Amino acid sequence: MTDSSLTDTTLATESVAPNVKRATPELWGVAWRNIMRTSRRTWLTASGIAFAILLMSLMRSLQVGAFMGAVDNSARIMLGHIQLQHPGYEDDPTIENSIHGIDEIIADVESRPGVEVVSARAQSFALTSSGERSFGAQVIGVQHDKEVVWSSLTRMDVEGRYLQGPGEAFIGSALARNLGISVGDEMVILGTAIEGGVAALVAEVVGTYTSGQPELDRAIVQVSLQDFQSAWNLASDEAHIINVIAESVADSEQLAPQLGRAHVRSMNWRELQPEMVQMMELKLVGTYVLFILVAIIVIFSVVNSFMMIIFERTPEFGMLMAIGMRPHHIIIQLQIEALLVSLLGVFIGLVIAAVGIGILSETGIALPAQAEELTKSMAFPDRMYPVFSLSALYIAIPVMLLGTQFAALIPGLRLRHMHAVEALRAAE
């Protein structure tokens, strides 16, 4: 045994044997010197833990980035990040459940920090017809000058152009095909106005879109808000929905609770897209299972590392027991060494993850060329931006720290049955 080992073991005995419950600075110093005696193994073990932390953080950040991108894309097609509605409209979407004073509400919401654009919509189901063909559709009156700013529907494989004023209609390509009309033709819209009156509107089709979603392409007609209000007998400051687009999905979650008021309900994207929330929760379960598998692999490598430590330092442990140290004192010493190795790995992993994910969140990750046509037609961004997720760290760090302690304890339990004489003979 080397002089350094004798010094370390003597310090360990003096630090641990008198009072195990008090981890003195000398005890931690001895533990650090012990793990640095086999620096190659220590760095390899710490690197494995760091890789696990990095992998878990990156996977979760990519997943969150993909989810937020999907939520934002879906919100910018039709729903918006936040919707302000009449309290009864969600359950009973009738023409009467409308919001009054929309100009004042829009002005107030637009003044809030984190808001990108706000626009009002009035909508109702109606019968659309051309010649002898008739099909049901949802007619939406929009503020076209604002809609064109945020709605990706206005840019999805459009033939013709988007709305620019009253007397115009923008419809799905499937509905246009069903009605047998094209850009430049007229269509008739008949619905039920307030108090049971007849809502009638004739509009020229100035553009058609293809979103790839049949429920949109065959059932959505957009006209100007003024036309809708006039045909359905709504006041000029009356609508059914106020769409709010925030600067980010995260901003929208903070904004939504602030926008509700008397007779106006504020709904965030989680309430507007429950199927998206369910999908995210399902994917999250799979991610946690993968986290556990990665942790198990790393823990097995730690078990192997400490098995080697037990075999290599058996004579040292025999000498410690010969001068009065109990086996459980040595086990505690090994647990401290395992804690230091795991903390070193966690620190390295966090630094690399913070720097790497921070860079990727700014530059983004280019999607494969094969997806270019899909991203263009569906108005998806051509790059994916990871979002650093603390939820992964809340799981990864405790799992790695506790897992490493457990991994070091498994081989350490062999010391309970170790005898000083037999251990010292192992050096011969």
Give me the pLDDT at residue 146, please. 92
Give me the pLDDT at residue 20, please. 42
Grade residue 425 by pLDDT with cuts at 50, 70 and 90: low
Q: Please determine, for residue 21, whether its predicted confidence score (pLDDT) is greater than 80.
A: no
Greater confidence (332 vs 108) lies with 108
Give me the pLDDT at residue 82, please. 92
Q: Mean pLDDT, the chain, as a whole number?
A: 82
Each residue of 279-338: pLDDT tens digit?
Answer: 888 888 888 888 888 888 888 888 888 888 777 777 777 777 777 677 777 778 888 888
Q: Please determine, for residue 371, whether its predicted confidence score (pLDDT) is greater than 60.
A: no
Grade residue 9 by pLDDT with cuts at 50, 70 and 90: very low
Greater confidence (184 vs 37) lies with 184
Quick one: which of 317, 313, 306, 295 has its CA closest to 407?
306
Q: Please determine, for residue 349, whether its predicted confidence score (pLDDT) is greater than 70.
A: yes
Give me the pLDDT at residue 369, please. 58
d(CA 380, CA 69): 8
Grade residue 10 by pLDDT with cuts at 50, 70 and 90: very low
Average pLDDT for 193-198: 84
Q: Please determine, for residue 403, whether its predicted confidence score (pLDDT) is greater than 70.
A: yes
Q: Percentage of residues in the chain with pLDDT exceeding 70?
A: 87
- Reported pTM: 0.73
Average pLDDT for 384-390: 79
Instruction: Report the residue count for the chain.
Output: 428
Average pLDDT for 102-124: 92
Q: Locate the domains of the chain by residue range.
A: 3-71+278-425, 94-239
Q: Please determine, for residue 362, whether its predicted confidence score (pLDDT) is greater than 60.
A: yes
DSSP-assigned beta bridge partners for residue 125: 138
Grade residue 171 by pLDDT with cuts at 50, 70 and 90: very high
Q: Please determine, for residue 161, whether its predicted confidence score (pLDDT) is greater than 50.
A: yes
Each residue of 201-242: pLDDT tens digit?
Answer: 999 999 999 887 888 889 899 999 999 999 999 998 999 999
Q: Percentage of residues in the chain with pLDDT exceeding 90?
A: 29
